[in-house]
Structure 1
């Protein structure tokens, strides 16, 4: 007998789950990095670099997309079809995240749409590594159509608050602790937000109505 026949190789061996080992190692390394980072007194420049990394993750940077491509193949096409995320670091140090083409709600409603749930999944995955040092503020809006008399909600501000609450409940179910989330009902979508989201100050009424049915997410770094 050929000596090489003493060893056999099972071509049908179950190797489908082996990626989980590498993934577990990667998560351990990431956690170790964040523990090291947040326990070290970095200078301002290095802290700025890491905060830029936070922005890149929410924008769907190349590295985060590679992770999605490897570990979430079934979702990557849906994730990438989401409209470009507006991510801006404000002068106050807050990080502002907005999905300009994702309609979270129907007019006058508080139920979250299917496409909005995809956006919330992206928020959850990107936020959790930073949850210990960033609080997540949810700000919902309404269009300029007044709430009808006798409606479930007293006015547009109350409607926007309940929209924020719906988003919060969804993120809680995904695993974000409620004490890391704060709510803000802004009422009617205003011109100040138009300037943050759009390059042009003036947009059509139709576009403004569409924007008013989305949600802003604000990351507030704790000192």
Structure 2
């Protein structure tokens, strides 16, 4: 039997080699793109090149063509540009935020200074009127950014444990009321305060806090009755012994804590709406 003639192999590389080469090229491009979008670590990059050289021999010895290739360097430059760009945006936003904060603080400080300036002017005017009315020994004047405060000792207004104005106290309150008529557009608040000595069981009022409320009310009613101040602009409160201004362990301190305060709020803090 005659031998079958062996078919000659086609010339050139097998067909599968072309497909495999395309696949390897695509994979290489894919990893190059991944690498270009990552943070480049020079040491690790050289280690990868050395590993590829020794195991696959794809890269020539000593080659740095990929590391210095345009694709990699362009990707690195793009990443560096993007990093710089977004850093500038972040820094600019931080600076703008700081400037806005500084601006708000400046506006707030200017507003508070205006409040304090008005209170100071009011306090000077009220002090002059107090002096002219010969009330300097009975009334102390103080102020802050919200209001001017007139302090009167409870001893000159009330008898111990009572909330009715004494006969000698009424003219004092009347004179103060005339002074306050100049500030009829402002909120006026009367606060009663006591020391921390427990109230007598025989007293008409069940606690120091209740006593302080009725004392503040007595002054409020007198001002409403004898002045042209609008009743809706006057409010009162009793604070009992919760807001001392002196040490309650001494007789002098307790005397200072038994007091009535009249607060005249400046225009910035007189919300009459």
> Considering the TM-score relative to the shorter chain, is it more than 0.5?
yes
Distance in 2 (CA, whole Å) between partners of 1:59 and 1:143 is 27
Distance in 1 (CA, whole Å) between partners of 2:159 and 2:138 is 21
Distance in 2 (CA, whole Å) between partners of 1:204 and 1:217 is 25
The answer to which structure, 1 or 2, has the higher relative contact order (CA under 8 A, 6+ apart) is 1
Higher helix share: 2
Is the CA contact (8 Å cut-off) linking 1:99 and 1:216 kept in structure 2? yes
Alignment match, 1:59: 127
Alignment match, 1:83: 137
Distance in 2 (CA, whole Å) between partners of 1:169 and 1:115 is 16
- The answer on 1:219 being equivalent to 2:245 is no
1:60–1:85 CA distance, 2 compared to 1 (3 A): farther
1:145–1:186 CA distance, 2 compared to 1 (3 A): same
Distance in 1 (CA, whole Å) between partners of 2:200 and 2:189 is 28
Is the CA contact (8 Å cut-off) linking 1:86 and 1:99 kept in structure 2? yes
Deviations 1:155-179 (A, max 9, x none): 1111110111111111111122221
Deviations 1:76-110 (A, max 9, x none): xxx3254163222224x222111358621111001
1:214–1:118 CA distance, 2 compared to 1 (3 A): farther
Unaligned runs of 5+ in 2: 1-109
3-state SS of paired residue (2:172): helix
3-state SS of paired residue (2:124): helix
Aligned length in residues: 157
Alignment match, 1:181: 234
- The answer on 1:95 being equivalent to 2:148 is yes
Distance in 2 (CA, whole Å) between partners of 1:148 and 1:215 is 21
1:90–1:81 CA distance, 2 compared to 1 (3 A): closer
Unaligned runs of 5+ in 1: 1-42, 69-78, 195-201
Give the CA deviation at 1:220: 2.1
Is the CA contact (8 Å cut-off) linking 2:161 and 2:203 kept in structure 1? no
Distance in 2 (CA, whole Å) between partners of 1:115 and 1:189 is 28
3-state SS of paired residue (2:149): strand
Deviations 1:6-32 (A, max 9, x none): xxxxxxxxxxxxxxxxxxxxxxxxxxx
Is the CA contact (8 Å cut-off) linking 1:147 and 1:154 kept in structure 2? yes
CA RMSD of aligned residues (A): 3.0
In terms of Rg, which structure is larger?
A: 2
Is the CA contact (8 Å cut-off) linking 1:105 and 1:113 kept in structure 2? yes
3-state SS of paired residue (1:96): strand
Distance in 1 (CA, whole Å) between partners of 2:226 and 2:243 is 30
Alignment match, 2:193: 141
Within-5 A mapping of 1:149-168: 149=201, 151-168=203-220
